Amino acid sequence: MAMRGFIGLSLTAMLAGCGVAGQVDDSSQDPTAEGAFKVRCPDPQTDCTVNNGAGVYTEEYGSAGIGQQHYMITHFINNAGGGVSLQVRYFEAATGTWQVTNGAVYYANYRGKHTLTVLSVSESLTTPSWTIYDASTSSNITVTGADILNLEVVLSLDKLYTIDWDVAGSETMKATIQEYNMRWRLTGSSSANQYCFRGDGTKDAVVFQQGMWVNPVTAKVARSSTIEGYVTLSCRYGAIATARLWGYPYRTPYNTFFYDSALQMKRASYCADSEFYTHSGTKIRVWDAAGVQDDPMTPAEIEAYWTPNGATCIGPMRHWGMGFSGSCNGVPLPKCETAAPGKLADAATPPAF
């Protein structure tokens, strides 16, 4: 049976949200710098408390955040001199903008031992490994896989926050991903809060993926020798984890074209920007030239051929009522039925609406 790409559970799309209609400040030439993924709210009355951008790190209209500032962790960063820092996106109420800042992994608690030094974090096949140092025994401890359920990591942001994980699991489509439900609390408090939520408000788990930096607004991906030490943290139903579940490699030296393109396809972000034209509950058929996905579709059914820069053509859209104009930067996209074939395509699972 052919594999279908699942976007998630059904949800009536709420079109409010800062990441949907905001303007992206792309003034910086550094794709990992603050200006590259800051989004301003288009309307003072718009609800801008949901921290995501456009379905990149969480499911469309889902959320992830810590504390009153709604800190969403995008990446853990292994520092050259040892130790781990983190990059977060948060809402600044005073200016009505999403900002980015760095924090620090302060220390860890593990199996009854406290204030252990965190040396590094890594990931292999979406399985995380934390390396911590126990001064009382002068030894390193590696906490990997489901053993992170015994680990607490204290983060230094505006305050000290403790994150932990209470459920571990896995999921398989064309690839297998490891999933961990993450919680947060003010350090010293016993009251745990859920970190990831799906679009319908139910809990979502986190997934670890190393070796890339993903823009939380446009889903553009950067990779380099420096970024190889970055570990992305995203929610399972966001595009970052879903594209891997569909079977596409995200780390070099593998061909990452299909993964980077699938980030835009999953979000129906035809122009690879902050706009997206899908919602949870949508099913699509997927075909690629790599032989990973092979759902049948005729040229007349193809919604788009996809690249990391968005769609190269447009056909019957999965949600034509969400208002895509058919143009990117004022240039109309050709019809897919007559366009040159691409390497990755999708089609709405009938009936399209």
- Cα–Cα distance, 164 to 149 (Å, whole number): 7
Average pLDDT for the chain = 86
Give pTM, 2 decimals: 0.87
Q: Show me where the domains of the chain are located.
A: 13-257
Per-residue confidence band for 280, with pLDDT thresholds at 50, 70 and 90:
confident
- Cα–Cα distance, 281 to 278 (Å, whole number): 9
Whole-number Cα distances in Å, 97 to 2, 29, 35, 50: 43, 20, 11, 12
Per-residue confidence band for 98, with pLDDT thresholds at 50, 70 and 90:
confident
More confident residue, 31 or 238: 238
More confident residue, 189 or 24: 189
pLDDT in tens, 194-223: 999 998 899 999 999 999 999 998 999 999
Least confident of 19-23, 232-236, 256-260: 19-23
More confident residue, 298 or 35: 298
